[in-house]
Copies of this chain bind each other. A is one copy, B any other.
Amino acid sequence: MIHAAAKVQAAGGVRTLAFDASAPLQLANGEMLAPLTIAFETYGALNAERSNAVLVCHALTTDQFVASPNPVTGRPAWWPRIVGPGRPIDTNRFFVICANVLGGSMGTTGPASLARDGQAYSLRFPPITIADMVRAQSMLVEALGIQSLFLVIGAGMGGMQALHWASAYPKRVFACATIATAARQSAQNIALSELGRQAVMADPDWRGGGYLAHGVRPAKGLTVARMATQVASHSEASVRARLSDAHKRERFSFDAGYSTGSNTSFVERFDANSYLYLSRAMDGFDLAGDFGGRLANAFQGGSTRHCVFAFSSDWRFPPAESRAVARALIAAGADAGFVEIESDNGHDAYLGEEPQFEAALTGFVDSCATARELSLHGGA
């Protein structure tokens, strides 16, 4: 099944597929990236028809451990309510693939990986795009012997990848679920991304991007950058509770900020240069821009079934932007639903307990599965 140029390896609980120099990744900027390693996890079993594969595209700050603990960080699975036995994406029924994104730092080639000279790429890593991330995933999916994915699903940056999948490879995506995302990064998100990047680069331990060679990490800058990604992720109530705690303290201190949450473990597990590259890839995402400014053109002629999910209190990726995606899909003649969930939990609502979201996603997945079986076995 595995491509001749690719080799499955595992080290420290991180499973990877390594492509040698004969199978470079063609980047949008014209460069070739080789060798390429893609770290990935799978759950469940591929059926005989190879028709039950689900690709989960992770968001900016997560990784491939969607449904199992991360052996490197010890953190639990990040999406246990959605992916697992008996969950909306039922691993008893589907073969679920989740790959660390290109440019990431959990095993896939990124700025912390070693270049051919044995030193970390750091800022020598080429600029990448959402399309490049999808192309790398496509190489993985092909290497696993899968011609057509039953479902591609993702939120935030993962939703951008899912939209690009449906646009670039319509025949290879039977269904597509995009969650809390947009077809183009908004100005406010670009401003917040740049703020996070500036915070990383302002940290003297960033060392002009070369911190790995100096055995240091820009932990404080990355903590601030992490806050920029989380700024829409908290409910009004939780921010007010932390505010109240903070106001009980008399003075200011760096460590006790009321929005830091679990940032310490974040900065230990996440490469700061990865943040620079991935956030800039998001900033450059503009699917309509790639198709003459009309988003519907990005989906012309496809038969992928879509469902677009948004959460009412998510102002990083507000429902209006998801509605625009759904409208463009309908305009392109696609079968596309739009679900807006009332929630106080901001952008990260999709990670938590949202029964309406789970019910709608389950209904969408089940109906697509029925349609997929019909299309495979000659029904209707």
A interface residues (Cβ-Cβ under 8 A, vs B): 123, 127, 186-188, 190-192, 194-195, 197-199, 201-204, 209, 220-221, 223-224, 227-228, 230-232, 234-236, 239-240, 243, 246-247, 250-254, 257-260, 276, 280, 283-284, 315
Contacts and interface: CB of A to CB of B under 8 A. Distances in A.
B198 A224 contact: yes
A251 B254 CA distance: 29
A231 B192 contact: yes
A202 B240 CA distance: 23
A277 to B, nearest CB: 9
Contacts of A221: 202
- Copies of this chain, tallied across the complex: 2
Closest 7 interchain pairs by CB? A202-B220, A187-B239, A201-B254, A187-B236, A195-B227, A191-B231, A194-B259
19 contacts: A186-B236, A187-B234, A187-B235, A187-B236, A190-B239, A190-B240, A190-B259, A191-B234, A192-B231, A194-B227, A194-B259, A197-B257, A201-B252, A201-B254, A201-B257, A202-B220, A204-B204, A252-B276, A315-B315
Contacts of A251: 123, 209
A263 to B, nearest CB: 9
A243 B192 CA distance: 12
Given A224-B202, A224-B224, A239 B191 contact: yes
A254 B198 contact: yes
A313 to B, nearest CB: 9
